[in-house]
Structure formats: structure tokens, C-alpha cells
Amino acid sequence: SCLVFSSIGIGAIAYKILFAELVGWKANLLNALSYMIGMLGLLYIYYRGISVDIKLSLIVLYLPVGMISLCYIVYRYIKLYHVKTTKSHYIAILRRSSGFFLFTLLSIVVLQTDYMVISQRLTPADIVQYTVTMKIFGLVFFIYTAILQALWPICAELRVKQQWKKLNKMIGVNILL
């Protein structure tokens, strides 16, 4: 299952690529399609009466999610293989992405640390309540992330063009929403 969830994490880059190309609807379509395929796989197992454990169920549900997005990344690499890049391109990309990497790394550390602590200190009922609360927070965070991913390429473009007035207005409007 580690491989499946790693492929989902790495494959999520494909969705960011689609949003950056201003075709975010394809990212949403691929994401919905992959979850539908996973759900159909679970329904197939259920109606055929196949006995599987929770690990295999998770693999059946999430493997299409990771594989479809990974296939898109492979497609992009093949399509852009002949494009020449220089060291300055890589440095610019690394400089712009370093903040996202640090934020993601810190969020992973925080999310894993809290579960280690609560497993030692809380009762099973409290852990369930905490997990349900985290699922609700995850839904809200998903909506926030979807909006952010849709707006980020536009904000980056405005920043590069130094159109600060439009950028500040967009940030202000979306904070209120």
C-alpha cells in the first residue's frame, strides 16, 4: 500500500501540470474518473463475493488514482523529451518550488506526529472522534486546495508580469470567499 499511496502523491503533480496549463477541468475529470474506476473495482469484488482484506481493498480503490496520474506524467515526459533545458531553468524551478516543498514536508511531519502521540495517550473512542474531525477538516482543506491550485498559475503569471494591483485584488477577493 505504500507504493500505491506514493504513486498518488507523486502522481498529484500531474494535476498541478494540468492546472498550470489552464486545463484544470482535465485534472478534475481524471481524478473523478480514477476514483470511479476504483469504486467500480470495489463493487466488483463485493458483488462477486470475493473475500479480501482491508489492504487489498485500499489497493483496489487507490491504484487507479495513482496509475492514471502517473501515466499522464510519463506522457508529459515523452512529449517534452526533446525540449532543451539549461541549468538556469532548473534553478528557477527549484527556487520557486522550495516553499511548497518545505510546507509539504512540515505538514507530513505534523500529521504523522499527532497520530503517534494520540495513539499513546487517547482512548480508542477519542482516536475515532479525532479521525472523524480530521476527515471533516480534510474535506474543507480539499476545497481550499482545489481553489488554490486553480488560482496559483494565474497568480504566478501576474507576479512574473509584475501586475501587483491585479494580484492583490485577486488575493483579497479569494480570501473573503
Share of the chain above pLDDT 90, in %: 6
- Summarize the confidence of residues 116-138 as an average pLDDT: 86
The conformational region for residue 162 under phi > 0 = left, psi -120 to 50 = alpha, else beta, is left
- Summarize the confidence of residues 2-16 as an average pLDDT: 73
- Summarize the confidence of residues 24-30 as an average pLDDT: 81
Coil/strand/helix, residue 89: helix
Residue 62 near residue 10 (C-beta atoms within 8 A): no
Coil/strand/helix, residue 85: coil
The length of the chain is 177
Mean predicted lDDT score pLDDT of the chain: 82
Question: For the segment 79-116, what is each residue's pLDDT rounded down to a tens digit?
Answer: 888 888 888 988 988 888 888 888 888 877 876 787 77
- Summarize the confidence of residues 6-29 as an average pLDDT: 76
| Geometric angle at alpha carbon 144, from 40 and 42, rounded to 5° | 10
Domain boundaries, the chain: 1-83
- Summarize the confidence of residues 149-161 as an average pLDDT: 81
User: What band does 117 get if pLDDT is binned at 50, 70 and 90?
Assistant: confident
Question: What is the model's pLDDT at position 177?
Answer: 65
Helices then strands (H, E): number in the chain? 6, 0
Task: Quote the pTM value.
Answer: 0.49
Question: For the segment 32-88, what is each residue's pLDDT rounded down to a tens digit?
Answer: 888 899 899 999 999 999 888 888 888 888 888 888 888 888 888 898 888 888 889
Those residues with Cβ within 8 angstroms of residue 38's Cβ, 6 or more apart along the chain or in another chain: 60, 61, 62, 63, 64, 65
> At residue 176, does pLDDT exceed 80?
no
